[in-house]
Amino acid sequence: MGKEQQIGKSYSHIAPYIEIMDSTLRDGEQTSGVSFMPHEKLIIARMLLQDIKVDRIEVASARVSEGEKEAVKMICRYAQRTGDIDKIEVLGFVDGHLSIDWIRDCGGHVINLLAKGSLKHCQQQLHKTPKEHLDDILAVLDYAEKTGMQVNLYLEDWSSGMRDNPEYVYQLMDRLKDTNIKRFLLPDTLGILNPLQCVEYMRKMIKRYPDKHFDFHAHNDYDLAVSNSLAAVLSGCKGLHVTVNGLGERSGNAPIASVQVILKDQFHAKTSIDESRLNDISSLVEGYSGIAVPVNQPIVGENVFTQVAGVHADGDKKDNLYCNDLVPERFGRKREYALGKNSGKANIVKNLEELGLELDAEQTRRVTARITELGDQKELVTQDDLPYIVSDVLKHNVVEDKVKLLSYLVSSSYGLKPIASIKVEINGKIYTADSTGDGQYDAFVKALRKVYKENLGRTFPLLANYKVSIPPGGRTDALVQTVVTWHNGDKLLRTNGLDADQTEAAIKATFKMLNIIEEQKI
């Protein structure tokens, strides 16, 4: 039977329910640079149990530190009150009574006992024979039973053990299968498996020990943690280990969001997970860990429900042609339509509809042209920026401007004052001027003053105030709003400009002011 046939045959053996154990607070905390405070661990644990509704959480390694002990005590006190204490698991070691006593002192009821799942680890790390290691494990199991501690057993480096010396794995299992161990946890500790190997090894375990509960624990060194997790489920394993945002040592672990949606959508497996809160837990862990979620991370990335191409927005209007089962509302999110050079009219219209703005065809064309212009400057425009762009384009982009900027150049060099050269058209006549200033905008305004004084014999308004801000809700890399206030005789004029560039925004505000003055002269 070929590998593909084996996988196909395994499909029918999917457990009706897959347990999800989240190890963000233990294995996830082994991410380089990540260390959760005790209160942060408690908040994450509460959200995982109450809101995400995972079956179990692994919250720490025994005997690490006093801070870790305090965190485990806090979580156990909380879980005791809510009736979830048996869902709290702590990694412990084959160290006689030490780990079990540590966990009991914290109020814990479950130890995930770390044994060696490969002969190489047994001999070279522990310097023991398989029999000696087994005797040590049995001693811990005996003490656990006497103290009422529930035991799950990790076979560390199980994937290497099955590849290099499966008889060692079977020797351990044959001796331990009739003990009080509730679950056997099978980790791909070094992240070396591919899905075909995972199917092969997992099926061998299940065929040999059909009445045992096996969990699979994936690592992502080859970017196969999710694929291997699903292969394990297809082969009959009953539980998977995950972390929020895929946190974990080296390349991380299998992300809970990705595992959940593929289990549900692709294989119709049942879990306890509340998908509507996956984005919330992702954001919480991102904030506490300081590890940013990539914008294209499936399910929880910032951009994964954003359509960029205008043709996609058009297709969504026509019976959601560009949507799949991963609808954003499923995860407490909504679909967005990016604004940029690839947007097209359909994206603009979608965003305008969302804001309740109605524009005619010509107005939409002008707004689209402005957003495309910003996109050509590699700027990202958000829906929150859109009202300001609409206002800027429709209220101030007057075709019959009497004062027009034809071209300009501003430059600055280290140790020298900025220089501005301008070419303007005022009431049909063209003028040029150059000037220096204390800044680029100051040099530009001084050049304008020259034109008004030397060519027109007129007084140029005096600058009263200059304010730069980000439009509320906007992004710093998209738009800058510059509001400039002028003294024109005994009157105050206030104009604003909007652009990706601060100087350009101020120049726009300046020309709006000059056109207002020209209109008032009529």
* pLDDT per residue rounded down to tens, the chain (522 residues): 444 444 444 454 566 899 999 999 999 999 999 999 999 999 999 999 999 999 999 999 999 889 899 999 999 999 999 999 999 999 999 999 999 999 999 999 999 999 999 999 999 999 999 999 999 999 999 999 999 999 999 999 999 999 999 999 999 999 999 999 999 999 999 999 999 999 999 999 999 999 999 999 999 999 999 999 999 999 999 999 999 999 999 999 999 999 999 999 988 899 999 999 999 999 999 999 999 899 889 999 887 877 554 434 344 444 455 467 888 888 887 666 555 554 555 666 666 666 566 677 777 777 777 777 766 654 556 555 666 677 667 655 444 678 999 999 998 888 888 999 999 999 999 999 999 999 899 999 999 999 999 999 999 999 888 887 765 444 445 567 788 888 888 777 777 777 778 888 889 889 988 887 887 665
Nearest-angstrom CA–CA distance, 418 and 434: 11
Q: Is 156 among the residues known to form the active site? A: yes
User: N- to C-terminal Cα distance for the chain?
Assistant: 91
Q: Residue 247 has which token pair?
A: 């946190």
Q: Is 366 among the residues known to form the active site? A: no
Nearest-angstrom CA–CA distance, 231 and 190: 17
From the list 372, 263, 290, the residue with the least C-alpha distance to 14 is 263
Catalytic residue among 19, 26, 58, 183: 26
Contacts for 501 with CB less than 8 Å, ≥ 6 apart: 377, 480
Q: How does 45-83 read in b/e, with b if 16+ C-beta sit within 10 Å?
A: bbbbbeebebbbbbbbbbbbeeebbebbbbbbebbeeee
From the list 171, 235, 165, the residue with the least C-alpha distance to 198 is 235
Catalytic residue among 156, 336, 379, 504: 156
pLDDT of residue 224: 98
Are 286 and 57 in contact by the 8 Å Cβ rule? The answer is: no
Segments of 277-342 assigned E as strands = 306-307, 336-337
From the list 431, 359, 358, 351, the residue with the least C-alpha distance to 383 is 351
Q: Residue 516 has which token pair?
A: 């207002």
Contacts 24+ apart (CB under 8 A), 321-329: 325/265, 326/261, 326/265, 326/298, 326/299
pLDDT of residue 333: 76
Are 57 and 21 in contact by the 8 Å Cβ rule? The answer is: yes
Measure the CA dihedral 347/387/330/22, to 10°.
110
| Kind of pairing between the strands at 416-426 and 491-499 | unpaired
From the list 65, 135, 151, the residue with the least C-alpha distance to 102 is 65
Nearest-angstrom CA–CA distance, 36 and 25: 8
Nearest-angstrom CA–CA distance, 127 and 250: 26
Q: Which residue has the tokens 């495309």?
A: 372
Measure the CA dihedral 57/304/473/514, to 10°.
160
Nearest-angstrom CA–CA distance, 96 and 494: 78
CA atoms within a 13 Å half-sphere pointing along the CA-CB vector of 378? 0
Burial class (CB in 10 A: 0-12, 13-18, 19+), 266: exposed
Contacts for 69 with CB less than 8 Å, ≥ 6 apart: 102, 105, 106
